[in-house]
């Protein structure tokens, strides 16, 4: 399919994981089923067929091309893949291993910049794991309408969202996360495969962990912390919905918690012992399968340490420690005393089969406390061992200037620790760890009447040595009085990092007033970053009622990578409930799925015209538009206004002319009318 977009050629691609490959060849189709195989594809001569393993032959005869790919080492059957499309091949190598990037011909000028780090990533991963890249070649192929990436063995499939040159200043997810994630699977998932889906975190946790290691190797400790801090934010959001163990079927957190637990394991073991353990894990089970306990045994073999307790807390049980810490200082005894309470609750209920996950009442973990004093820092190694415990830190000869609980942020946790502003200010200036700084900024952000807090944030927003800290500081200032925050935001909007400028624009929008909004308009017109322009549009749509309409109208047609600016404009329309754009939205129905959702949201708020437009396009000539309109009904209208969605669709189905859409609409009506019993969904 090509979804009617001129840029996308006709193509086919396969997707096996979890159990879909048995729909196109006979297989038992479970991850512990390993085999070698050969794929022979005869395709139009102008197309290429990309599959797994070594290219054995490529013969053009008459109007056809026959390509034979042979996967000689065994791998899991869900990793068999085939892509056929008119593709350009950009050839690269890692040593003697072919490394190829397959993209549409129209995208070939963008491919090198996006993919050129691949051999270096292969190099770093081979070195860290001590296992040389195990396959005959590595191909990465971009395809349409893909959900992201899939680590098919030696032939990764990726979505066709190639960044243009300008997009790189916004640090595209594609290069930063997607490419190193799928590459990591070539070791974790493809070389050693989870024995069943309940241990899938062994695939996904490692794949999510490894990019941070790569960026740490190449860009330094801050880039590594930045990467995992983002995983941490994702994990907290997921855990809030439902805490689940890593090793459980359908676990919701295998990506971020998997990455964070492996990072914590590395922190606990130290770099050398950690990689020795990973090497043992890969070489004990080469081309085979593994359970979570196989990883524990590998650590035992490599280090002599039995980490039963670690696996029990972090792999087999759910949740994470919530620590409530308070401090008192005794001048006479030169001692700082910390009271540490673990407050995580196990309120999980059994599911319908009676299975109940548990949250440990006590997480046992070692960590370091760092106490700043005029005469230098005092550090002490302590061990979390109880629901409530007291920790004495002697040798603190003058009043503390800061207290860092878990120096270097090794333990996955939530920390509540009420501190005087002076401690936080000192820590923000001195602590090299980005997560610690993030925590400090969150504490200071609430102290909007405290000028010392404001000054520390202003200093960090303009002078911190890494963009993430400058960003978080300037964002925090958005809640402070404009008299204090405006000058800082004005400086930050000229930062060299687009990430910081985006935050500054958001803060300027929050502060409001003519001088701030002038700066935001200036960013919208002149900033070179798509994300900054999108942030400026969002800010003006909310804060500048006089110009909002014009700003949104201009944004709707402004080209940008991944339509960042147009998406911001569409969101602004939905947020404002602005019905003056219905005509424009109708004109945009063919560009992507989002405009139909905005029409649906206007309809859900009671606008009949928006509903009429949406309904008419159930008969659109473009199949993709019909699908997207139905998605608008299903995911937006039905969610916001169930009855209107059912009534509209029921009324419309009789008049739908395309059989595929008619069928889909009819079954959607049935689905929406199903009674939602108690506990349903
Ligand atoms: Zn993955």
CATH number of 476's domain = 1.25.10.10
Q: How far is the CA of 174 from the centre of ligand 1 (A)?
A: 13
Inside any domain, residue 104: yes
For residue 293, the CA-to-ligand 1 centroid distance in Å is 20
- Region for residue 126 given its phi and psi (left: phi exceeds 0; alpha: psi -120 to 50; beta: otherwise): alpha
Q: How far is the CA of 223 from the centre of ligand 1 (A)?
A: 21
Lowest mean pLDDT, pick from 123-132, 172-181, 317-326: 172-181
List, for residues 265-283, the tens digit of each pLDDT value.
999 999 999 999 999 999 9
Last residue of a domain, one of 387, 418, 449: 418
pLDDT at 681 (0 to 100) = 40
With cut-offs at 50, 70 and 90, classify the pLDDT of residue 374.
very high
Distance of alpha carbon 191 from alpha carbon 6, whole angstroms: 38
C-alpha to C-alpha distance for 252 and 244, rounded to whole angstroms:
7
pLDDT recorded at residue 171: 84
**pLDDT interval class at 4 (50, 70, 90):** low
Question: What does the DSSP assignment read for 184-249?
Answer: HHTTBTTTBEESSGGGTHHHHHHHHHHHHHHHHHHH-HHHHHHHHHHHHHHHHHHHHH----SSST
Statement to judge: residues 336 and 479 lie in one domain = no
Question: How confident is the model at residue 675, as a pLDDT?
Answer: 72
CA of 338 to the centre of ligand 1 (A): 41
Q: How confident is the model at residue 679 (pLDDT cuts 50, 70, 90)?
A: very low
Q: What is the pLDDT of residue 571?
A: 96
Domain residues for the domain of 565 are 431-572
Residues 144 and 175 in one domain: yes
Residue 178 CA to ligand 1 center (angstroms) comes to 9
Mean pLDDT of 41-53: 98
Q: How far, in Å, from the CA of 177 to the mean position of ligand 1?
A: 10
* pLDDT attached to residue 3: 58
E strand segments, 484-637: none
User: What CATH number corresponds to the domain at position 127?
Assistant: 3.30.2010.30
Judged by DSSP in three states, 102 sits in strand
For residue 396, give every residue at least 6 positions away whose Cβ sits within 8 Å of its Cβ, in sequence order, or none: 329, 334, 335, 336, 371, 373, 378
How would you list the strands of the sheet with 414-417, edge to edge? 388-393, 335-342, 322-330, 414-417
Domain identity same for 517 and 444 = yes
3 in any annotated domain: no
Average pLDDT over residues 417-436: 97
Ligand 1 mean position to 68 CA, how many Å?
Answer: 27
pLDDT at site 7:
75
pLDDT 10s digits, 618-632:
999 999 999 999 999
Q: What confidence score (pLDDT) does residue 112 get?
A: 97
| Segment 410-426 mean pLDDT | 98
Whether 387 is in a domain gets the answer yes
Residue 557 lies in a domain: yes
CA distance 202 to 132: 19
Question: Which residues have CB atoms below 5 A from the ion given as ligand 1?
Answer: 204, 207
Quick check: 489 pLDDT over 70? Answer: yes
> Are 375 and 441 contained in the same domain?
no
- Per-residue pLDDT band for 676 (boundaries 50, 70, 90) equals low
User: Which of residues 357, 386, 418 is at a domain's end?
Assistant: 418
Per the structure, the count of domains in the chain is 5
Tokens at 624, concatenated: 């993709």
Mean of pLDDT over the chain:
95
CA–centroid distance, residue 259 to ligand 1 (Å): 11
Instruction: State yes or no: cis peptide before 18, omega within 30 of 0.
Output: yes
Same structural domain, 161 and 75: yes
Q: What percent of the chain has pLDDT over 90?
A: 95
Residue 4: inside a domain: no
Average confidence (pLDDT) over 551-561: 95
- Given 282, 314, 346, the domain boundary residue is 314
Mean of the pLDDT values across residues 177-200?
Answer: 98
CA 409 to chain centre: 21
678 burial via Cβ count (<10 Å: 0-12, 13-18, 19+): exposed
Name the residue among 117, 114, 119, 124 with its Cα closest to residue 214: 124
pLDDT digits (tens, 9 = 90+) for 335-362: 999 999 999 999 899 988 888 999 999 9
Q: Is a pLDDT exceeding 90 seen at residue 456?
A: yes
For the cut 80, the answer to whether the pLDDT of residue 599 exceeds it is yes
């Amino acid at each position: 399919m090509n979804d009617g977009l001129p840029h996308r050629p006709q193509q086919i691609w396969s997707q096996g994981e979890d159990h879909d490959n048995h729909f196109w060849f006979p297989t038992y189709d479970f991850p512990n089923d390993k085999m070698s195989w050969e794929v022979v594809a005869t395709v139009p001569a102008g197309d290429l067929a990309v599959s797994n393993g070594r290219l054995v032959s490529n013969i053009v005869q008459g109007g056809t091309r026959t390509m034979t790919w042979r996967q000689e080492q065994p791998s899991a059957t869900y990793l068999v893949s085939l892509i056929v499309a008119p593709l350009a091949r950009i050839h690269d190598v890692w040593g003697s291993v072919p490394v190829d990037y397959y993209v549409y011909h129209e995208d070939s000028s963008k491919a090198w910049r996006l993919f050129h780090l691949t051999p270096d990533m292969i190099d770093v991963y081979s070195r860290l794991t001590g296992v040389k890249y195990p396959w005959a070649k590595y191909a990465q192929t971009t395809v349409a309408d893909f959900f992201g990436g899939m680590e098919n063995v030696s032939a990764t499939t990726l979505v066709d969202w190639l960044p243009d040159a300008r997009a790189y200043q916004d640090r595209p997810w594609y290069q930063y996360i997607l490419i190193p994630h799928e590459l990591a699977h070539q070791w974790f998932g493809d070389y050693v495969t989870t024995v069943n889906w309940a241990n899938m975190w062994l695939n996904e946790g490692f794949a999510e962990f490894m990019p941070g290691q790569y960026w740490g190797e190449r860009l330094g400790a801050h880039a590594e912390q930045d990467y995992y801090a983002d995983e941490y934010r994702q994990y907290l959001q997921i855990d809030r919905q439902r805490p689940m163990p890593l090793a459980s079927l359908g676990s919701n957190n295998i990506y971020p918690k998997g990455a964070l637990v492996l990072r914590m394991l590395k922190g606990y073991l130290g770099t050398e012992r950690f990689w020795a353990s990973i090497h043992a894990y890969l070489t004990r089970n080469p081309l085979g399968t593994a359970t979570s306990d196989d990883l524990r045994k590998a650590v035992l073999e490599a280090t002599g340490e039995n980490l039963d307790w670690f696996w029990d807390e972090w792999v087999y049980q759910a949740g994470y420690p919530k620590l409530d810490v308070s401090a008192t200082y005794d001048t006479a005894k030169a001692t700082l005393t910390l009271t540490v309470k673990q407050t995580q609750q196990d309120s999980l209920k059994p599911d319908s089969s009676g299975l109940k996950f548990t949250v440990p009442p006590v997480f046992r973990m070692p960590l370091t406390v760092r106490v700043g004093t005029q005469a230098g820092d005092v550090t002490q190694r302590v061990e979390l061992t109880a629901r409530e415990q007291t920790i004495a830190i002697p040798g603190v000869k003058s009043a503390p200037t800061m207290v860092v609980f878990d120096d270097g942020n090794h333990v996955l946790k939530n920390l509540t620790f009420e501190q005087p502003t002076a401690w936080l200010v000192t820590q923000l200036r001195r602590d090299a760890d980005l997560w610690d700084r993030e925590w400090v900024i969150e504490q200071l952000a609430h102290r909007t009447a405290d000028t010392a807090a404001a000054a520390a944030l202003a200093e960090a927003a303009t002078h911190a040595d890494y963009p993430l800290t400058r960003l978080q500081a300037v964002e925090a200032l958005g809640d402070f009085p404009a008299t204090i925050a405006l000058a800082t935001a004005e400086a930050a909007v000229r930062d060299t990092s687009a990430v910081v400028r985006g935050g500054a624009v958001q803060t300027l929008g929050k502060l409001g007033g003519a001088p701030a909004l002038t700066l935001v308009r200036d960013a919208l017109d002149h900033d070179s970053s798509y994300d900054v322009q999108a942030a400026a549009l969002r800010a003006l749509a909310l804060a500048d009622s006089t110009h909002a309409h014009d700003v949104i109208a201009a944004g709707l047609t402004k080209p940008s990578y991944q339509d960042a600016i147009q998406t911001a404009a569409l969101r602004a329309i939905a947020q404002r409930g602005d019905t003056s754009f219905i005509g424009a939205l109708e004109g945009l129905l063919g560009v992507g799925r989002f405009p139909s959702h905005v029409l649906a949201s206007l309809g859900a708020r009671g606008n009949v015209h928006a509903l009429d437009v949406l309904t008419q396009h159930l008969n659109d000539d473009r199949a993709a538009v019909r699908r997207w309109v139905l998605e608008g009904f299903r995911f937006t209208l039905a969610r916001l206004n169930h009855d209107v969605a059912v009534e509209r669709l029921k009324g419309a189905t009789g008049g739908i002319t395309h059989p595929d859409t008619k069928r889909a609409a009819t079954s959607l009506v049935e689905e929406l009318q199903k009674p939602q019993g108690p506990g349903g969904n």
